A and B are shown apart, each in its own frame.
Chain A
Amino acid sequence: MSTLERLTARLGAALPPEAVITDPVRLRTYECDGLTYHRATPGVVVLPETAEQVAAVVRLCAEFGVPFVARGSGTGLSGGALPRTDGVLIVTSRMRRILEIDIAGRRAVVEPGVTNLAITEAVRDQGYYYAPDPSSQQICSIGGNVAENSGGAHCLKYGFTVNHVLALQVVTPDGEIVELSEQDAGYDLLGAFIGSEGTLGIATAITVRLSRAPEAVTTLLAAFTDIESGGQAVSAVIAAGVLPAAIEMMDALAIEAAEAAVHCGYPPGAGAVLVVELDGPRAEVERQFTAVERICRDTGAFEVRVAASAEERAAIWKGRKSAFAAVGRISPAYIVQDGVVPRTALPEVLAGIDRLQDEYGIRVANVFHAGDGNLHPLVLFDDSVPGEGERAEAASGRILDLCIEHGGSITGEHGVGVDKARYMPRMFTPDDLDTMQLVRCAFDPEGLSNPGKVFPTPRLCGEVPGVRKGVHPLVEAGLAEQF
């Protein structure tokens, strides 16, 4: 009997029978998250309904020395929830109760499986909303948002998950239930935990900040003949001291995909579209809108549309928000990257991506959060053509190099996961990574919580810095097949 089998036999005492999945056919449906490139069938899947059940499972993992991975809705784009074949996958999709709504305190307490959008839907009638809005907000879970420190189009003005989470109930890798609160004195473990991609434990209750709905929202769609003039418009808007809620850009190829998928009706012939959303007090929005519209026309927009109703606003956003998945309509396969560059470096980096397209003979569709320099190049390829996947992968790596060269980051919101762990040493020194490992070792000395993610070369916590195991995480995981 393997260790995992012995552990599984004990799960029955911790969980109701229908919460444990061992059937191989069912297990395989959990083999990947939103990034299908990496797959591994979990050893066992559990679907707990309470924090106590999560803690009980984690305690068993600690007892048997078995790794565990947490998963929410499985929409992550960095393989952060890639299971371990020798481990337990803890799925929070049944923990989806909204535990408390406190409008006067501008906060809500929710379970990790609650979707991002469900929070806003629960408080919208009272004039509030939950600000971070990843494109997958109708399905991505808050637990996943906490793990990845998710952003979204509107984080330009309002910040990320970490700026909107006030407290967490966390199951630590030794199975203890601990409260991390912004109110407490001491180290900001709340801030350190958010964005740690499941490597420090599992959040089982999340206290989020609710934001007052803005008095006015204006959404504007500007069409340009080329992406350079769109980029100039972005710089000019920022230089004018305007902080829009969002500035998003899509290039011709991304527009083509979105058009095919959701018929968003963007102006025909556009080489780039810019979606600018202004929100806030009506008087402020009106003034800013006049300024932004003028800037767009001055920088060469051939059409500027303003959403006159909630439906028109939704239509403009639909094209943008469905862009990733929509690329499935124009390409059999694709890799989404998530690099970030300083905004002023955008033109250079986009030109660099253009050159890479020619060099590698592949197409790249660009969708990005222009306001904060977060690129989402979609590297398109046909996986049935031998060698094309490898070329796309190589081009993706080069795009990340470009971002790092320009002082940027390899990931703005998707997380490092298993996918970009190998790029971490390009962005950080060994000392930087060792220092981050200190945090990991404080929380998870046995390295059982989502091992193989974020860090390229995991080291045992007792080891002396400088002595590394030269094993690639995928090899170390031993189990993740690459497709």
Chain B
Amino acid sequence: MDGARDPRSDETTEQAGKALAASGVAVRAAGADDVVAGVPPRWVALPETAEEIAAVLRVSEEHDLAVVPVGGGTKLHWGAPPSRCDVLLDTCCLNEVVEHEAGDLVVRAQAGLTVEALAEALAAKGQELALDVPVPGTTIGGLVATAIAGPRRFRYGTVRDLLIGITVVLADGTIAHAGGKVVKNVAGYDLGKLFTGSYGTLGVVADATFRLHPLPPSRTWAAASFARPVRSGPGGDASEEASAPEAVRLAGELHAALAAAAGSQAEPVAVELDWPDVTGPATVAVLVEGAASAERADAVRALLGPEARTVGERPGWWGRLPSAPPPSRDGARAETDAGRDEEPPAGRGETLLELRASPSRVAGALAAVHVTALETGTPAAVRGSAPAGVVHVALRADAGRTARFADALRARVEAADGRLVVLSAPPEAADGLDRWGRVGALALMRRVKERFDPGGRMSPGRFVGGI
């Protein structure tokens, strides 16, 4: 640890360390594995209850310590690096299912519980949390903080739509609840929504209560491949032209397949596009769940084109974030397989973008990814729920190209009223990047942050506008 990072005196630090130790909460010195997006913390606190979280936060307030909450650590490299970080608040010891009343289709779980462990407990009662969390090892707290969602967002929405109650601990140690354990409830402000996707900047999530769904009795996928997902030349509609002035557009049959699946009365729960390299072929896969799923999936298959088929098993890529294709511009195509094997774990080293657009303009946005990849010489992969208007883009390139790619794509997407967010980027690429793009109500967000965390100590600097 180099002293230059922290201008405070050793004495102050020592006092803070003592106070943390005296709080009764398990605290250890931070190690090399505890680094948050390149910033090393000084201590790691391991609270076991909401009250212990509160104790850590009260000490942190007294001693002006910056706190970053962490769960599985799977997305700790997401968002901007914290401007400072003293305490890493690890929720791993809060890992229980607090309450699961199957007859009510509701579960309350602690923040440190992994989604896999939760799924196992729920499956025993024939139920599930209908969010396909795309990053394995994600905890409930991390799920809420990043609001990450998977294919079935098309039918069930995201965390905000299934979260019905929350317990949070504020920067000053106040423990607050909102919502409850009933699905239908409009009493008071919905703090759960406010904390969803807040990246740990408003406080620490202690536990969360979700609405559940019965596990579907059967699942069937319909899928189709598209050898040429884009076309050049005129013929696109006006919305596409705005984002792709080069007159590259999504192929009509692909566009039609996505739209038809999304509008099908067979009611698919997910419509996913997988485009592992935006200069190559793409696949559309549609999930139909529940009664008569095979029959209904067959109806969807008919909409996807003559080559489409139905399958009883999920495609291998289903419900995972895309991986960047290898940097092939420099004749590296041959290394593809070997290159993949050497990928750093959990997508580190690559840049992950989230592209959001109205479903009526998402085709134009997809074409824009293709154009941007060609223009910047940066291969990119796209995967996500195109008809829900959210797809992820993965790329791996040097800092300059990454920034050029993100800037060029954002310009095109925002011109069509969409948004581009940089979820994660390698540290060397991060400096030149605007992570968040256009945000309509930034001034209001700052005011919210000031009220919840007037000292600016909760995951400082990690969020929009430097919040």
A residues near B (Cβ < 8 Å) are 102, 104-107, 127, 148-149, 151, 155-156, 159-160, 162-163, 172, 178-181, 183-192, 194-196, 212-215, 235, 238-239, 241, 243, 280-281, 283-284, 287-288, 340-344, 369, 372-374, 407-416, 420, 424, 427-429, 431-436, 438-443, 454, 465
CA distance A222 to B198 in the complex (A): 46
- B182→A432 contact, CB < 8 A: no
* B266 in the interface (beta carbon within 8 A): yes
* B445 in the interface (beta carbon within 8 A): yes
CA distance A188 to B389 in the complex (A): 17
CA distance A178 to B105 in the complex (A): 37
- A432→B177 contact, CB < 8 A: yes
* B461 in the interface (beta carbon within 8 A): no
CA distance A24 to B452 in the complex (A): 43
CA distance A429 to B168 in the complex (A): 13
Q: A180-B441, A287-B292, A431-B175 are in contact. Are A436 and B191 (CB under 8 A)?
A: yes
* B295 in the interface (beta carbon within 8 A): yes
Top 9 nearest A-B pairs by Cβ distance?
A191-B193, A105-B360, A283-B292, A215-B265, A435-B176, A179-B440, A241-B214, A104-B360, A409-B185
Count of interface residues, chain B, beta-carbon cutoff 8 Å? 82
Complex interface: chain A residues within 8 A of B295 (CB): 283
CA distance A432 to B176 in the complex (A): 4
- A183→B356 contact, CB < 8 A: yes
Complex interface: chain B residues within 8 A of A172 (CB): 444
Q: A162-B193, A189-B441 are in contact. Are A281 and B265 (CB under 8 A)?
A: yes
Which among A284, A416, A433 has the greatest number of chain B C-beta atoms within 10 A? A284
Minimum Cβ distance to chain A for residue B88 (Å) = 23
Complex interface: chain B residues within 8 A of A441 (CB): 451
- A281→B444 contact, CB < 8 A: no
- B174→A431 contact, CB < 8 A: yes
Show 8 residue pairs from A and B whose CB-CB distance is below 8 angstroms, ordered by the A residue. Answer: A160-B186, A186-B463, A186-B467, A283-B291, A284-B290, A340-B184, A342-B101, A344-B103
- B194→A186 contact, CB < 8 A: no
B residues near A (Cβ < 8 Å) are 101, 103-106, 126, 147, 157, 160-161, 168, 170, 174-178, 180-191, 193-194, 196-198, 202, 213-215, 217, 259, 262-267, 290-292, 295-296, 299, 356-361, 389, 418-419, 421, 435-445, 447-448, 450-452, 463-465, 467
- B184→A412 contact, CB < 8 A: yes
- A188→B194 contact, CB < 8 A: yes
Give the residue name and chain of the B residue nearest to A200 (CB). B189
Minimum Cβ distance to chain A for residue B48 (Å) = 20
- A191→B190 contact, CB < 8 A: yes
Complex interface: chain B residues within 8 A of A342 (CB): 101, 103-104, 106, 181-182
CA distance A434 to B451 in the complex (A): 11
Complex interface: chain B residues within 8 A of A185 (CB): 419, 421, 435-437, 439, 464
Other than the known A151-B184, A443-B447, A454-B189, what 19 A-B pairs have Cβ atoms closer than 8 Å? A159-B157, A163-B161, A185-B419, A185-B435, A186-B465, A188-B160, A188-B197, A189-B445, A195-B186, A214-B267, A215-B265, A241-B126, A284-B291, A340-B184, A372-B183, A412-B185, A427-B188, A442-B451, A465-B174
CA distance A175 to B72 in the complex (A): 43
Q: Of A235, A238, A436, which contacts B178 at CB under 8 A?
A: A436
Minimum Cβ distance to chain B for residue A155 (Å) = 7
- B296→A284 contact, CB < 8 A: yes
Complex interface: chain A residues within 8 A of B187 (CB): 409-411, 416, 420, 424, 427-428
CA distance A342 to B105 in the complex (A): 9
- A439→B104 contact, CB < 8 A: no
- A412→B197 contact, CB < 8 A: no
- A104→B359 contact, CB < 8 A: yes
Q: A160-B184, A432-B176 are in contact. Are A438 and B291 (CB under 8 A)?
A: no
- A238→B103 contact, CB < 8 A: yes
Complex interface: chain A residues within 8 A of B176 (CB): 429, 431-432, 434-436
CA distance A372 to B418 in the complex (A): 35
Complex interface: chain B residues within 8 A of A186 (CB): 436, 439, 441-442, 445, 463-465, 467
- A428→B177 contact, CB < 8 A: yes
CA distance A369 to B419 in the complex (A): 38
Minimum Cβ distance to chain B for residue A143 (Å) = 16
Complex interface: chain A residues within 8 A of B450 (CB): 442
- A372→B184 contact, CB < 8 A: yes
CA distance A132 to B465 in the complex (A): 34
CA distance A37 to B177 in the complex (A): 31
Complex interface: chain A residues within 8 A of B419 (CB): 183-185
Give the residue name and chain of the B residue nearest to A242 (CB). B214
